[in-house]
Structure 1
């Protein structure tokens, strides 16, 4: 046998042996990952055959088996100034003949809607407009939107607006396809039944007009469940849009206050997904892949998107807020929102978002300046960012390396910082960033909350298990210990 052929044959045999080893082994018992606080910025365990032989000798409780895989799911994304004009061709390419266009009363008057309608009419695509979406939607407004969609029987949806519009369109799509379902069937447990979505939905194209939620990339839809005085939602990969059209021209009309609060959502999306527990620390491992949650924990792919989104937000958000005509900053923030959407849409968020839902749902009467709404409103980005300095001070010890890497993104020199100071350093960097951004409440007190509200805020946070399970350092196995930790966090967040 020729030497070259012998070498190739040996390599092929080794490769085959390696593939067999990987195929027939399971997740490891890794000393690093048995302690969530020990994982470094890019350390995710790989299977070990030797450790598995030890583990397989003892039967495991299925509910305590750790996850061993992660999935990446995101919408197709088109990015570029002017690409909204292609939406009519997209709908025609999808074979859509009856499109339900979903928007709100403000966006319906803007250029984005004009460009969308021109695109549909140029291609002869029939459509009907629903412009009754509520900013920060409630379950009642979601149900009204669903009731408007069902009689039209669309074969596709087109959402034009911010996260509230896109999330509402996702749920219109879901309940149009599952017309006999009860509203709580798919809502996240324990507030709803958390049933999986068992069939494909209709095509949904999302055209974001704000740079914040990343909803154009994710399978998540959030709303207020009024009876429980808490935000909740539905999270499943089937909800994600077929296509997100990210056109920087569509965000040029955002007021400065909307730039700020939307950007703060991007900031927390990236920070929370970057610091979430590793995917292979999450339990239980699903018995069927259809039950694998959209929010899986930090993983090597989401890490790339999350960290880049954080760096871009720190660089460009202050510019976008200071000068709404800074087109480069606006474009980069729209891109950052999309990057963060891919990151958190697969890794998940944790404490800032879990605590934000009762903050919004239990608003004592605060109305954020710069928003054209009649009723009291705490914008979502404000509700997540107001606890961030307290949250990351608390989580710092779980993973000092990642918290220091995040602090470095804010411009902190970490070369001589001790690991035990990581949470405090990141907390200070965050607080400084928020103060310099301007017009942001410096704690819950400026939203109208006080110590007397904390117990209700804690009780509104406890049901947010879908995100809290990804929070490092939180004692979810002991409810009373968890309550005490949350009380301390809300107390810390009263002012900074």
Structure 2
């Protein structure tokens, strides 16, 4: 039935031929017991029609895959990492971190664990917060030049920037002849699939936000295009994520807040993304099936749980640095959200966030120990969220109302046509109560004169925009107008 719907002429011809072969002659036909004797030309013609590869470019997806790193969660489990690498047979481990994390207790624990197992390792601590393609290239060059034979395993200790950088060091060390843009998401790069396993990578997150320890995604600034992009493929995901609540206890309140906002938007976007079976095109080969597939029954479980826990525990974690229960639950929520969005994907908040951070007019978020201007990733995604979910509400009112209910809204008497507005208001109130958050693009230094450039920086983000409900990607002019309206709406809330 599905074949007939999609390719009526081809399927109908083939079916007609097969029926002619089967039913034109009565069962008493003397040669009926020898089907190959009957009309061999018609049979072969029918087989050719059915064997011809289908044009999948306009077909909707019909399957989804569930892929995530193995995860170990528990206070103190960082001390096991030396044994893990030994069990993997690692002899030359590249430890990837940044200058701040290298000074923390987690690195002492890691170092002792590696030394106890007699593992040879080097430390690269040059990771940049919110990495650019230049810093990624420097890290890759360092990895290629390390040891005599190169590393045979990677260990990332830090936040999402560290883990993403380690993923790319691993990728381009495994495929040393590849050009940098070969695997980068199209249209900014070639978007080639990763056709092989990488070296083992263990990720130890020290922030509760990105969920990068579970996903096959790595994000960076492509400076020449003034936009964030990245690489996404299942083979990029870590072998193991060691999620230890002891490692987030040193996070400043501002980092708790911005990291938690990333979890919030991960869960909301993956929960409201288009369903997986509405995504086009269907892949010609399973290796081409994207990591971001659209909402599906398995990702939904993780996304909604992460949303509810973030609403419950993030305000506590930001308010009280000694609330270790809240910190622990936020770290777990970040991992749960990572499993959810790592398979379903994100959409407008993230697509719009990339030019926001890449085109920063000079804003420096308080609480971050960096000299350069910075819009933390969680801030860049959350600042558009009230506008985004007001816009997407009509696409699936029931889901938007369920999300609003997670914020404590009584939805019993809310009309479906008000779903987007209700969720938008709930989000805005949550962000305001969280405190010290810029209440719109205006507070980051953007004005209406920046909108066109922000729109153009968003347009190439097809990998995530294709999952956005209510966005018309079939007409570039209409899409630009919709994005322009969203950026204008997001100026202030």
Partner deviation per Cα, 1:82-129 (whole Å, 9 max, x = no partner): 000000000000000100000000000001111111110111111000
Matched, 1:150 2:101: no
Cα shift at 1:325 = 1.3
Cα shift at 1:56 = 5.0
Matched pairs, number: 447
Output aligned runs, 1:97-112, within 5 Å. 97-112=91-106
Task: Determine the C-alpha separation between the residues in 2 that align with 1:170 and 1:393.
Answer: 35
Give the aligned partner of residue 42 of structure 1: none
Task: Determine the C-alpha separation between the residues in 1 that align with 2:4 and 2:369.
Answer: 62
Output aligned runs, 1:393-404, within 5 Å. 393-404=390-401
Output aligned runs, 1:92-491, within 5 Å. 92-152=86-146, 153-491=150-488
Task: Determine the C-alpha separation between the residues in 1 that align with 2:176 and 2:4.
Answer: 48
Unpaired runs of 5+ in structure 1?
A: 1-49
Q: Is the 8 A contact 2:209 2:259 kept in 1?
A: yes
Task: Determine the C-alpha separation between the residues in 2 that align with 1:54 and 1:444.
Answer: 46
The structure with more radius of gyration: 2
Task: Determine the C-alpha separation between the residues in 1 that align with 2:9 and 2:202.
Answer: 49
Task: Determine the C-alpha separation between the residues in 2 that align with 1:57 and 1:381.
Answer: 47
Cα shift at 1:324 = 1.4
Unpaired runs of 5+ in structure 2?
A: 11-53
Cα shift at 1:53 = 4.6
Cα shift at 1:58 = 3.8
Cα shift at 1:63 = 1.1
TM-score, normalised to structure 2, is: 0.90
Task: Determine the C-alpha separation between the residues in 1 that align with 2:83 and 2:55.
Answer: 52
Q: Is the 8 A contact 2:217 2:231 kept in 1?
A: yes
TM-score, normalised to structure 1, is: 0.89
The alignment partner of 2:95 has SS state of: strand
Matched, 1:71 2:22: no
